[in-house]
Amino acid sequence: MSEAVSVAYDDIKIGDTAEISKVVTDEDIRKFAEVSLDENPIHLNEEFAKNSMFKQRIAHGMLSAGLISAVIGTKLPGVNTIYMGQDLKFVAPVFIGDEVTAVVEVVDKRDDKHIVTLKTTVKNQDGKEVITGQAVVLKK
């Protein structure tokens, strides 16, 4: 894992982007279920999942969404950033073995309060969006 950075508020420009990628594993899903207490069988039970609309197990949506937080907290704006809000839309499933990439893009800045608005997207290895949204953060 790379070292976290801190981008100074004045150095943040509209259009700046940063990203983090990860391959989602069975172990990731099981650990997330343990920590979150979300033991929905669509995530954990192969037999149950075969009869679902997805025909296989899927990752928790918030597992992939967590990568957005990783980008914000470690890359852009990075250390000393306070999450104020996040809107998410889950538009496609993430399966075991998918490589997901969370991307944040600066779309607005409010200089008087050091508030930054970010477009947030998570895509799979095929470039298909699986999560879309927007975050609002305070940069200290």
For residue range 67-104, list pLDDT tens digits in order. 999 999 999 999 999 999 999 999 999 999 999 999 99
pTM of the complete model:
0.93
- 127 pLDDT tier (thresholds 50, 70, 90): very high
Between strands 99-110 and 115-123, the pairing is antiparallel
Predicted local confidence at residue 1, as pLDDT:
58
- The DSSP code for 113 is T
Please, what is the Cα angle at 27 between 35 and 43, to 5 degrees?
A: 70
pLDDT-based confidence at 132, cuts 50/70/90? very high
Question: What value does the mean pLDDT take over residues 19-41?
Answer: 97
Q: Tokens 């149950």 correspond to what residue?
A: 48
